[in-house]
């Protein structure tokens, strides 16, 4: 579960996190900790892929796979509406 384009990835991490918070799946502190871990685990973020934010939140036990699916469905529903 990794992407190579850091700029696109950060955009999706932000949207993923915002939706997860809005739905009450995680809180700000959990999201910030996961984002910090995402960056600290990959100091060369632009040169190599790193874990997706949903993967980190799942590994920490803060989100279930079903909740991740709900967030992704919401993200891509919005994207489809933009077209």
Residue 46 has pLDDT above 50, yes or no: yes
* Helix or strand (DSSP H, E) at 3: strand 2-3
Please tell me the distance from the alpha carbon of residue 68 to that of residue 83, in angstroms, as a whole number: 23
Each residue of 6-25: pLDDT tens digit?
A: 565 667 778 999 999 999 99
Each residue of 24-41: pLDDT tens digit?
A: 999 999 999 998 888 776
How many Cβ atoms sit within 10 Å of the Cβ of residue 54?
22
């Amino acid at each position: 579960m990794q992407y190579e384009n850091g700029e696109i990835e950060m955009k999706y991490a932000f949207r993923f996190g915002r939706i997860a918070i809005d739905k009450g799946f995680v809180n700000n502190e959990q999201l910030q900790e996961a984002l910090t871990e995402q960056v600290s685990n990959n100091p060369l973020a632009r040169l190599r892929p790193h874990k997706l934010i949903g993967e980190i939140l799942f590994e920490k036990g803060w989100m279930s796979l079903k909740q991740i699916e709900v967030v992704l469905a919401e993200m891509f529903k919005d994207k489809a509406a933009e077209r």
